[in-house]
Structure formats: C-alpha cells, structure tokens
C-alpha cells in the first residue's frame, strides 16, 4: 500500500508545473552559489600564488646579492642581507598561508573575514597577525552568495512549500475520508507523502550540488570525495529535520493556510531571528574589547618600548664611553640587538590587551557552541563550514601554526644576531608548511552537528505520528 501511495503522489507532483519551475529555480541557485564560491577560492589561490611568487623572486635576488657580496661587492649596512636582523626583519620574511580546502567553494563561511596569509618576520607577533587587507565593509556585512546560503536559507523553504498542504489539501477537497475508507492508516498515508517528497527534494539538492561541483572542478581534488560524503550527510539531516517539523505541523489538523503560517514563522524564528538573538546575547554577556583599543595599545607599547630601548642604550654608552667607537658596524649591531629587545618588550606590553581580547572571543564561541543546538541553522552552517574548511576551527588551527613558525623564525635568527653571525645562504632559512586537520577531527565536529539535527527531527516525527491518531478527518 505504501508503494501505491508513493506512486500516486509522484503522479500528482510531476503533473504540477509549479513544482518544475521551483525545481529549475533551485537548480539555478545551486549552480550560481557553487560558481560564486569557485570565483572566491580562485581569488584566494591567486593571492597566495602571487605572495609566494613575490617571495621566490625576492629570495632569488637575495641569493644573487649574497654571491656578489662574497666577491667583494658593497652594500649599505641597513640593506645588507648578510645581517640576520636585516634579513629576518625586512629582506627575507616568509609567507605563512592557509590554502583553501577542497570543498571551500561550497561554503565561503568566514574565509572572507579571516586573513589567510601573513608575512612572518622577527617583528612582534601582534604586529604580524594584526595586518589585514582592506576590504569593502558593505560586502563583508552582507556576505557572499554560496551553496551554503542556498542550503541553510532556501532549502527549508522548498521543503515547506511542498509539505504544508500534503494532507490538509485532501481534507479541504473532501477526498481524505474517501482515501482513508481504504485499508490504510493516516500515519501510513502521511509517511508515504513525506517519504516521496523527502527523497525528491534531498535527492535534488545532493545531485544538483554534485553536478555543479563536478562541472566547476570542485570534486577534482582527491581528498574532496570523503568530505563531500559528510556534506551530503549534513544536507540529509537538515532536510529530514524540516520534513519532520512539517509532518508534526500537519498532524495538528489545521487548514493549509494555518500550516503555511506556522511553518513560515518557524523558519523565520529558527533560521533568521534565533542566530541574531544569540549574537546579541553573546556580545552582551561577553563584550569584546574594542579592536581600536588593541591597535592603539600596540602603537603605544611600540613607542614606549622604542623610547625605553633608546634611553637604555644611551645610558649604557654614557657608562662605557670607550665602547662608543663611532664604528658603523658597531652601531648597526647595537641597533639590531635593540630591535630584538624592543620587539620582546612590545609583545610583553601588548599581551594583556590581546589576551583579554582573545579570551572574550573564546568565551563567545563557547557560549555559541552551547546555544547552537537551539538553532538548526547555526548547526548546519557550522557543519558546512567545517566540511568546507572555512570556519573558525580551521583558522585557529592555522593561527597556532603561524605562532609556532614565528617562534621557530626568531629562534633561528635571534641567536645569530647576538652572536654577530652572518647569513651565508638562503637554503637554511625556515619555511612554513601548513598541516591540515585530520579527517577524523572534522568528521567528529560535523557528526555532532548531524546528531543535533537528527535528534529533534526524530522527536518531531514521533510526536507527529502519535498525534495523527487523533487527526480530525472532517470538519
């Protein structure tokens, strides 16, 4: 009997021209979302490639200059690549970059807000990671249209559009009593209707997403398929939640207009209003210190450290006038050591401000992690960002590696500065290599979100089936 219900529903839906128009519009939205994401990731790839090309050309020039200096060439002490301070601080900084993940085009996430490359030198850490490119604030506020937007915002609307009247319409047309006069339960009838619609809608989203990803080359990467399976699982869980919610609303026995109003209100509350309210809550509970304050503190600390360092060096020469030889090389060495001390002092002075800023951000994230289970939209967005590698977790993973590389960079050059050693070649200079998160780590986070969608979905489905036993067939 369930098979007959599904076949009958398929005939009814396939005969409705509106369904095909909506399907076509949805397919176009998916295609445009993937294409727009591909454009953004190509821009990122291009920016990273240009940065590394500039670095390679710069190192070629430095290598040639080192050979020339070994042959007796002359250069200003402030531009001498043999000086470890000049090399590590100004001439030879390396880029630390975060490459887009294989599925990055599917969810731009926060990759347009968070910096994805830094120029690492012996400068203070805060001066390195606080340098960002200028971006249009209006674009950052509005965000970019991508497949994740289609899934999180438009996908539920498509589900609600094909489910709000799946039983109430038959009741209003007077055909429901006739259908139920056959040996079939209302729960079986509703299950068949939901099963067909869920198979069609979820299948269309998955198929259209896969086709768009294949055509744009997103799935060409060898490691993309495993993550795309996680993407499909999250899409299916999100869709089943909304189908279960629609089935529960249907079981209330209201007319089609009321069902549509309830479901539209649920979408507005769960997808639009709740994330905004949560954002207000976390900013009120854990207000973040002004970033302007942090930047100003960094400038003040740098100025104070420079003044203190210069005064200390002047006092030292007052106490030891025999060392003030006027030798340019000696003066340059003093300056280099002073810069190391100043950078350390800047980090020490700025660290409390930066630490307070980072602690508040972390506290906000922990609160959001607890509240996200009250909003399927937040769960879904986080899951898609994790799969695509455009969320905050992967970026924090990147920043930790940048900090490690910065310490490695300074550990390599600072002893050379104090030992008055020379840079002989560029071969031994440290390089940054990003280490990707493991698939198991990503899968664990995504599965948490999927479970957070499946559990309430199952509850709505069970409540709906139970309430259908008291469904008013007429009236």
- Read off the pTM: 0.84
- Asked, for residue 159, whether it belongs to a domain, the answer is yes
- Asked, for residue 334, whether it belongs to a domain, the answer is no
- Asked, for residue 292, whether it belongs to a domain, the answer is no
- Asked, for residue 361, whether it belongs to a domain, the answer is no
Helices 186-215 & 17-70 angle (0-180, nearest 10): 40
- Distance from C-alpha of 328 to C-alpha of 37, rounded to nearest angstrom: 54
- Asked, for residue 8, whether it belongs to a domain, the answer is yes
- Asked, for residue 338, whether it belongs to a domain, the answer is no
Per-residue pLDDT 10s for the chain (475 aa) are 667 777 877 787 777 777 788 888 888 999 999 999 999 999 999 999 999 999 999 999 999 999 888 888 888 877 888 888 888 888 999 999 999 998 999 999 888 888 899 999 888 777 676 655 545 444 444 567 889 999 999 999 999 988 988 888 888 888 887 877 777 888 888 888 898 899 999 998 989 888 888 887 887 776 788 889 999 999 999 999 999 999 999 999 889 999 999 999 999 999 999 999 998 898 888 887 666 666 676 677 666 766 665 565 555 444 445 444 455 555 556 566 666 666 677 677 777 777 787 788 888 888 888 889 999 999 999 999 999 999 889 999 999 999 999 999 988 988 887 777 888 888 889 999 999 998 899 999 999 999 999 999 999 999 998 988 888 876 5
- Distance from C-alpha of 169 to C-alpha of 258, rounded to nearest angstrom: 12
Burial of 131 (0-12, 13-18, 19+ CB in 10 A): exposed
- Asked, for residue 260, whether it belongs to a domain, the answer is yes
Range(s) of the domain holding residue 102: 1-265+384-475
Number of domains making up the chain: 1
Tokens representing 426 are: 């560029």
CB 447 within 8 A of CB 229: no
- Distance from C-alpha of 162 to C-alpha of 195, rounded to nearest angstrom: 12
- Asked, for residue 276, whether it belongs to a domain, the answer is no
Tokens representing 296 are: 């100003």
Q: State the sign of the Cα–Cα–Cα–Cα dihedral 291, 296, 297, 303.
A: positive
């Amino acid at each position: 009997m369930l098979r007959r219900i599904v076949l009958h529903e398929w005939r009814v839906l396939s005969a409705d021209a509106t369904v095909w128009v909506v399907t076509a519009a949805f397919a176009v939205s998916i295609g445009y979302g993937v294409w727009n994401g591909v454009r953004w990731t190509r821009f990122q790839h291009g920016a990273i490639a240009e940065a590394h090309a500039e670095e390679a050309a710069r190192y070629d020039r430095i290598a040639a200059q080192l050979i020339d200096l070994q042959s007796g060439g002359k250069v200003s002490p402030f531009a001498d690549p043999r000086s470890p301070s000049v090399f590590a601080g100004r001439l030879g900084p390396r880029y630390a970059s975060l490459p887009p993940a294989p599925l990055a085009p599917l969810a731009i996430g926060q990759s347009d807000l968070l910096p994805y490359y830094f120029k690492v030198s012996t400068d203070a850490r805060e001066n390195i990671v606080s340098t960002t490119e200028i971006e249009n604030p209006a674009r950052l506020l509005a965000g970019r249209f991508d497949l994740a937007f289609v899934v999180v915002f438009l996908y539920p609307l498509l589900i609600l559009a094909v489910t709000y009247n799946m039983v109430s319409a038959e009741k209003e047309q007077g055909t429901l009593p006739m259908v139920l006069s056959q040996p079939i339960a209302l729960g079986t009838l509703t299950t068949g209707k939901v099963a067909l619609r869920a198979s069609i809608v979820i299948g269309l989203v998955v198929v259209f997403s896969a086709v768009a990803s294949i055509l744009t080359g997103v799935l060409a990467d060898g490691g993309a398929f495993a993550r795309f399976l996680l993407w499909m699982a999250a899409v299916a869980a999100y869709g089943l939640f909304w189908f279960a919610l629609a089935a529960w609303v249907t079981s209330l026995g209201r007319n089609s207009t009321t069902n549509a109003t309830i479901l539209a209100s649920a979408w507005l509350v769960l997808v639009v209003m709740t994330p905004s309210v949560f954002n207000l809550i976390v900013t009120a509970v854990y207000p973040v210190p002004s970033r302007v304050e942090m930047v100003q503190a960094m400038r003040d600390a740098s100025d104070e450290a420079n003044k203190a360092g210069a005064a200390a060096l002047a006092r030292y020469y007052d106490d030891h006038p025999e060392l003030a030889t006027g030798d340019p090389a000696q003066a340059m060495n003093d300056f280099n050591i002073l810069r190391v001390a100043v950078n350390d002092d800047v980090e020490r002075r700025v660290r409390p401000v930066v630490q307070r800023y980072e602690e508040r951000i972390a506290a906000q994230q922990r609160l959001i992690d607890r509240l996200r289970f009250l909003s399927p939209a937040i769960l879904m967005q986080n899951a898609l960002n994790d799969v695509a590698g455009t969320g905050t977790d992967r970026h924090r993973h990147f920043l930790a590696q940048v900090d490690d590389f910065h310490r490695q960079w300074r550990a390599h050059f600072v002893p050379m500065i104090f030992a008055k050693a020379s840079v002989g070649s560029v071969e031994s200079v440290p390089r940054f290599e990003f280490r990707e998160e493991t698939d198991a780590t990503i899968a664990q986070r995504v599965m948490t979100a999927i479970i957070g969608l499946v559990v309430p979905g199952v509850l709505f489905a069970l409540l709906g089936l139970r309430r259908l036993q008291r469904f008013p067939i007429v009236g």
